[in-house]
Amino acid sequence: MAAEPAVRNRIDRRRERTRNALLAAARKFLSEGRSTVSIQEITDAADVGFGSFYNHFESKDQLFDEAVRSVLQVYSEMRDGIAALYDDPAEVFAVSFRMTGRLQRQVPEMVRVLLNSGMSVLLRDEGLAPRVRRDIIAAQEAGRFEPMDPGMAVMAAGGALLGLLQMLDAQPDADADALIDEMSFHVLRMFGMRKQSAQELTTNPLPPQPQL
């Protein structure tokens, strides 16, 4: 009787490895902007059998959606751990923006998955958008940001962040830290912060960047 759970565990681990291999292949293709690849190309890249694909995903679109979701999950865990260190919602926003920008140099392939997803990533119910929205609303309620429609504020901040990440991706020799902090400063100013306060929040030391 004891052999049965052991067999199930081996099967579950094998299924998980296959699923993770498919997701890794999908993330690689998305990071390269190759969303038109066939399922056969995906399974070849994952080094799994073609038939295995449908044991995990109904379609290529579902796989790619899950691949984006997996990247956003990594981001969310990083950001939530950082946010817990601060009480001021404006500082939470600023630190999150600055550290998210720094991901481009740390995990460029992961960031390219988001870049190749375009602005639609800001309309998803997980990852960037809901956290940015929550931070902005909290900062507005605390009187740290001037009132602005939260949806419009998310698109403004998210668009600035995605544009910054795209620029850093195109300019590998640029001073990323300086550009990220400068963009963070301008976004804070856009939300109505005084110059001195914005400078303070964008020059304060950052916590250690998590290992991803």
Separation of alpha carbons 164 and 166, rounded Å = 5
Q: How far apart are CA 7 and CA 129, in angstroms?
A: 41
pLDDT at 4 over 80: no
Q: Are 191 and 136 in contact (CB under 8 A)?
A: yes
Band (8; pLDDT cuts 50, 70, 90): low
pLDDT digits (tens, 9 = 90+) for 150-205: 999 999 999 999 999 999 999 999 999 999 999 999 999 999 999 999 999 999 99
Quote the tokens at residue 196: 């001195």
Q: What is the pLDDT of residues 136-147, one digit of tens each?
A: 999 999 999 999
**6 contacts 19 by C-beta, under 8 angstroms:** no
Could you tell me the end-to-end alpha-carbon distance of the chain, in angstroms, rounded to an integer?
A: 40
CB-CB contact of 104 with 21 (8 Å):
no
> Between these two residues, 127 and 93, which has the higher pLDDT value?
93
Q: In the structure encoding, which two tokens stand for residue 53, read together?
A: 């694909």
CATH number of 64-203: 1.10.357.10
The CATH T-level fold of domain 3-57 is: Arc Repressor Mutant, subunit A (1.10.10)
CATH 1.10.10 in the chain, residue ranges: 3-57
Distance between CA atoms of residues 111 and 117, nearest Å:
10
Backbone angles phi, psi at 101, to 5 degrees: -60, -35
Q: What is the mean pLDDT of the chain?
A: 91
